Structure 1
Amino acid sequence: MTPGWHAEHTPDKPAIVLASSGEVVTYAELEDRSVRFARALRARGLDVGDHIAIVLENHRAFLEVTWAAQRSGLHYTAVNRHLRPSEVQYVLDDCGAVAIVSSEELAEVVSGLDTSRLRARISVGGELPGFERYDDVMAAESSEPLADECEGREMLYSSGTTGRPKGVRKPLPATPLGDPSAPPVMIAQGLLATGAAEGAVYLSPAPLYHAAPLVFSMSWQRLGATVVVMENFDPAACLQAIQRYRVTHGQFVPTMFVRMLRLPKEQREGYDVSSLRTVVHAAAPCPIAVKRQMIDWWGPIIHEYYSGTEDIGTSFITPQEWLEHPGSVGRPMNECHIVGADGEEAPVGEEGIIYFAGGRPFEYHNDPAKTASISNEKGWRTLGDVGRLDADGYLYLTDRAAHMIISGGVNIYPQEAENVLAGHPDVADVAVIGVPDEEMGEAVKAVVQLSDPAMASDEVAAALIAWCRGELASYKCPRTVDFVDELPRDPSGKLYKRLLREKYWEGHDSRI
């Protein structure tokens, strides 16, 4: 299961399509370019087990480069292109990269980096001082595959929403390219098992530097699908891409659902989305009201999974199951335990930290203490999420333990209020956090982005608080509301709560 097989049998089939520009890379071209670039990296001293960093926008070359690394037995780290130079430098140094691929578009970031120790510095789409040009590098190489092609592995970094990002390092397969025992091949086999069909067109609307967009895009290409990559997410452009390219499969995050639902009804209903067969969402909890609206719109084709880059445990739920268990993220696919504050397993229906037994091996790169910290004495591992299991074995997420608010000694998980407020028709985005309070320690505050920022007022704030109290106990609801033009999210929809909290906790002692 490699692009090479499809290059041989369907050479002219599009492997990559850039949604806005319409630029196409065929399977023959993907095979040729990834082979040539793999040879170029080997010629510059990169061998099996070495590490390459990719600092790129969603560019045609992104998947060409990752496939070159994948077939060369390399670790490859796709770096968030929105990071500051000092943050990118930290990732470069921490992962031990010996090569970097970037672009002229990111010159402002790259020019501030110390790349003197790297063996290879390569720029796609334009000139960068001290960098070789991508097309020139490939043109000098043969299109004959390396004799020792073997499976590499991504090593991606956490988002850094609560501190320094950490590299999630998984064992390098180093098995022959396409070997069915390699985890990347097994992911593609899993897609086949869940109904991936011939003629699939997969939409990747998120940045490729994130785990799911990158891994799933490459997995679909192992199956010969056309991968449509959005350069940047825009709700109307997303619907247009689905219609234009007759997209059959896609993966989204809840923020994208919200943004599409907030389009004027006549606009969003003007797009033909009938080609969609299966949609998956993950990465963040989806408010029940939002998912119901999406199922009403797109039909019962929206599946959900819960997992993490660490891959210690996974749950999955079909739309039919979700309609019977609204709010659930499905039945765990490996052994799952809910552990209470006393360290003991909690009874059915009670909340606690979610632990998994089994899962794939990994380590936090250069941080054995953090690696050890996620395991308990039974060897179960956790991502730090809080949840519960119902009597039927379905898992429900409450929130991350790190986001918990302690007000007057009471534990409050802000996701509950966020889910309620996200269902208000005037709310485009919302975050609920704890802020300093002399009497209670922390008070619950909602930071809201309105669909129409001009509506911001004390009256609207009061109405939002009342809306929340109509669904939840008052102690779980915000006491105050602040309005912002935009919440600090990365392009994949992940919220940087740390940045919000810093504003309110400056000059105060914060427990996080």
Structure 2
Amino acid sequence: MATIRCGQTIRDNDEMRTRAARIATGLAEHGVTAGDRVAMFLHNDVAVIEASIGAGIVGAVPVPVNWHWKGAELGYLLDDSDSRVLFAHSDLVPTAEAVLGDRLLIEVDNDSAPPTGRHPRYEDWLAAQRPWSQPPTQAPQSMIYTSGTTGRPKGIVRAATTPEQSAASAALIFETFGLAPGMRTLVPAPIYHTAPNVHCLVSAAAGIDLTIMPKFDPEEMLRLIEAHGINHFQAVPTMFVRLLQLPDAVRARYDLSSLTTIVHAAAPCPPEIKRRIIDWLGPIVREYYGGSETGGCVACDSDQWLAHPGTVGRPIADADIRIYSDSGDLLPAGTAGRIHLRPPTGWPNFTYHRNPGKRAEMERDGYLDIGDIGYLDADGFLYLNDRSTDMIISGGVNIYPAEIEACLLELPGVRDAAVFGIPDADLGESIAAHIESTGVTADAVREHIRSNLAGYKVPKLVVFDDDLPREDTGKLFKRKIRARYWPDR
């Protein structure tokens, strides 16, 4: 029987579903009905899956919350989403209490702090409920809040779906993620983010054996793959970098022969890093591209990537891609512009909660702009340049930081890199690089870039930074570093 496990918690599928049915009853007795929101202020934990499924049984919408958020950020989300119930780990309860209002808080025990004793404890509350006995309501997708790189985070609301539409959507997710019935899959990323959240919930619904890491640790990941015979995992490029930085002896210590599929997304993967992962683990690496709003629209396998190095793939199913200029002109192959995606049929439409105008702004001719710049080659494969908000314009020349960051990660001793534009009186912007490294000098950094890229891409400013701020998904909090140089933005 399929199992779901996270840290020391292990449940078989039947036990997990019984517990979810008890949660459904408890939520309903508190007055939660179809369309209401239930927030999850939780670290990675089996409780996230149980509570999400329980909410879905009564037709309520799970709202995963980034557990790094502080009072004002959490308060905004709870108020904006109109969440009626909040599940929170004990160490996060004090943050939640400051903005809780009259909401019910269910406290989930964890090792980081003792129970506060001020709220119903998850296990006691769950045990007091009887399992839900009515037919389940059609379960909605989670309401994910975007990362808020510009302005406040926006809640993504999916259109209601029929069972047939939900089945079509699940089939698309299986295709995009490379999942299959009977697999044993591992999730190393935080499940408050879209892809890991979808990965967990779809796997649990399909009865796929599921291992969730409480937090990512590269050697622990290898141990879990061997211990549980993992066939499949989904990662982000930063995790590949950390895995490759393990000593050869450590990597050789673990039997990874059970792996049949690795899938990655969320950020551009430096080509050299991806090539090394394929060389190590074999041509089992898949990649997909899309957004929280659109789902996966583009994908490629290892053979396609090796034939088109650097691509993120071609459209899946009947999805489509167009590249537009800033002025709205359709651009030909080989010319970079704003990427617009048309999701495949079967992916549910969406709007932004309380902000339908923002949804309308991103659409052109039925295609959606999710903020990336890239181009198509003659064979229809898509390549990413960078986020439109990250592009540097120096002396009228467009410079893409992701290209420079990928180059820096090839320099021995560089562990991480953030490249961005800073004010320049003559050029408008010049290039800054914040680098996490061991034994690397600024001169070596500049010479490496100069030897591999055009001279105008060499950073004017090189700063060595002990701990670059990254989300658990691997995405850089680049705006936090950039804000030091642009105080008025």
Q: Using a 3 Å threshold, how does the CA distance of structure 1 residues 194 and 413 change in structure 2: closer, same or farther?
A: closer
Residue 36 of structure 2 aligns with which residue?
Answer: 50
Q: Using a 3 Å threshold, how does the CA distance of structure 1 residues 41 and 358 change in structure 2: closer, same or farther?
A: same
Task: Give how far 1:145 is off.
Answer: 3.0
Residue 199 of structure 1 aligns with which residue?
Answer: 182
Residue 3 of structure 1 aligns with which residue?
Answer: none
Give, in whole Å, the separation in 2 of the partners of 1:313 and 1:227: 21
Task: Give how far 1:84 is off.
Answer: 1.0
Give, in whole Å, the separation in 1 of the partners of 2:72 and 2:351: 24
Q: Note if 1:299 corresponds to 2:282.
A: yes
Task: Give how far 1:243 is off.
Answer: 1.2
Give, in whole Å, the separation in 2 of the partners of 1:313 and 1:250: 16
SS of the equivalent of 2:291 reads coil
Check whether the contact 1:207–1:232 (CA below 8 A) recurs between aligned residues. yes
Task: Give how far 1:192 is off.
Answer: 6.8
Residue 333 of structure 2 aligns with which residue?
Answer: 348
Matches within 5 A, 1:35-434: 35-113=21-99, 115-118=100-103, 120-125=104-109, 127-128=115-116, 130-173=118-161, 175=162, 179-182=163-166, 186-188=169-171, 190-191=173-174, 196-311=179-294, 314-333=297-316, 334-357=319-342, 360-376=348-364, 378-434=365-421
Task: Give how far 1:371 is off.
Answer: 1.4
Check whether the contact 2:88–2:96 (CA below 8 A) recurs between aligned residues. yes
Task: Give how far 1:477 is off.
Answer: 2.5
Q: Name which of structure 1's ranges 161-170 and 320-329 shifts more when overlaid on structure 2.
A: 161-170
Residue 443 of structure 2 aligns with which residue?
Answer: 462
Q: TM-score, normalised by structure 2?
A: 0.94
Task: Give how far 1:380 is off.
Answer: 2.3
Structure 2 spans left out of the alignment, 5+ residues: none
Give, in whole Å, the separation in 2 of the partners of 1:477 and 1:146: 64
Which among 470, 473, 482 is matched to residue 492 of structure 1?
473
The residue type paired with residue 341 of structure 1 is D
Q: Using a 3 Å threshold, how does the CA distance of structure 1 residues 358 and 204 change in structure 2: closer, same or farther?
A: closer
Task: Give how far 1:138 is off.
Answer: 1.7
Give, in whole Å, the separation in 2 of the partners of 1:213 and 1:194: 10
SS of the equivalent of 1:25 reads strand
The residue type paired with residue 122 of structure 1 is I
How far does the alpha carbon of each residue in 1:243-298 deviate from its partner, in whole angstroms, 9 at most, with x for none? 11111000000000001111112112222111101010000000000000000011
Check whether the contact 1:75–1:172 (CA below 8 A) recurs between aligned residues. no
SS of the equivalent of 1:314 reads strand
Check whether the contact 2:178–2:286 (CA below 8 A) recurs between aligned residues. no
Percent of aligned positions that are identical: 39
Give, in whole Å, the separation in 2 of the partners of 1:145 and 1:228: 29
The residue type paired with residue 267 of structure 1 is V
- The count of corresponding residues between Structure 1 and Structure 2 is 480
Check whether the contact 1:50–1:98 (CA below 8 A) recurs between aligned residues. yes
Structure 1 spans left out of the alignment, 5+ residues: 1-12
Task: Give how far 1:366 is off.
Answer: 1.5
Give, in whole Å, the separation in 1 of the partners of 2:424 and 2:264: 36
Give, in whole Å, the separation in 1 of the partners of 2:206 and 2:340: 33
The residue type paired with residue 468 of structure 2 is L
Check whether the contact 1:313–1:356 (CA below 8 A) recurs between aligned residues. no
Give, in whole Å, the separation in 1 of the partners of 2:427 and 2:180: 55
Give, in whole Å, the separation in 2 of the partners of 1:158 and 1:194: 21
How far does the alpha carbon of each residue in 1:343-383 deviate from its partner, in whole angstroms, 9 at most, with x for none? 1111111100011235541111112332122123x232110
Which among 468, 478, 485 is matched to residue 504 of structure 1?
485
Task: Give how far 1:222 is off.
Answer: 2.4
Q: TM-score, normalised by structure 1?
A: 0.90
Give, in whole Å, the separation in 2 of the partners of 1:14 and 1:375: 41
Q: Name which of structure 1's ranges 86-95 and 142-151 shifts more when overlaid on structure 2.
A: 142-151
SS of the equivalent of 2:263 reads strand
RMSD of aligned alpha carbons: 1.8
Check whether the contact 2:335–2:375 (CA below 8 A) recurs between aligned residues. yes
Give, in whole Å, the separation in 2 of the partners of 1:353 and 1:192: 26
SS of the equivalent of 2:326 reads coil
Q: Using a 3 Å threshold, how does the CA distance of structure 1 residues 244 and 166 change in structure 2: closer, same or farther?
A: same
SS of the equivalent of 2:389 reads helix
How far does the alpha carbon of each residue in 1:421-464 deviate from its partner, in whole angstroms, 9 at most, with x for none? 111121111110101112212110111011x3xx25xxx11111
Residue 5 of structure 2 aligns with which residue?
Answer: 17
Give, in whole Å, the separation in 1 of the partners of 2:288 and 2:89: 33
The residue type paired with residue 225 of structure 1 is I
Give, in whole Å, the separation in 2 of the partners of 1:210 and 1:188: 20
Task: Give how far 1:497 is off.
Answer: 1.1
How far does the alpha carbon of each residue in 1:293-322 deviate from its partner, in whole angstroms, 9 at most, with x for none? 000011000000001110166100011100
Check whether the contact 1:34–1:64 (CA below 8 A) recurs between aligned residues. yes
Q: Name which of structure 1's ranges 231-240 and 361-370 shifts more when overlaid on structure 2.
A: 361-370
Check whether the contact 1:431–1:448 (CA below 8 A) recurs between aligned residues. yes
Give, in whole Å, the separation in 2 of the partners of 1:155 and 1:224: 23
How far does the alpha carbon of each residue in 1:52-88 deviate from its partner, in whole angstroms, 9 at most, with x for none? 1110011221111111112221111100001111111
Check whether the contact 2:3–2:10 (CA below 8 A) recurs between aligned residues. yes
SS of the equivalent of 2:224 reads helix
Q: Note if 1:477 corresponds to 2:458.
A: yes
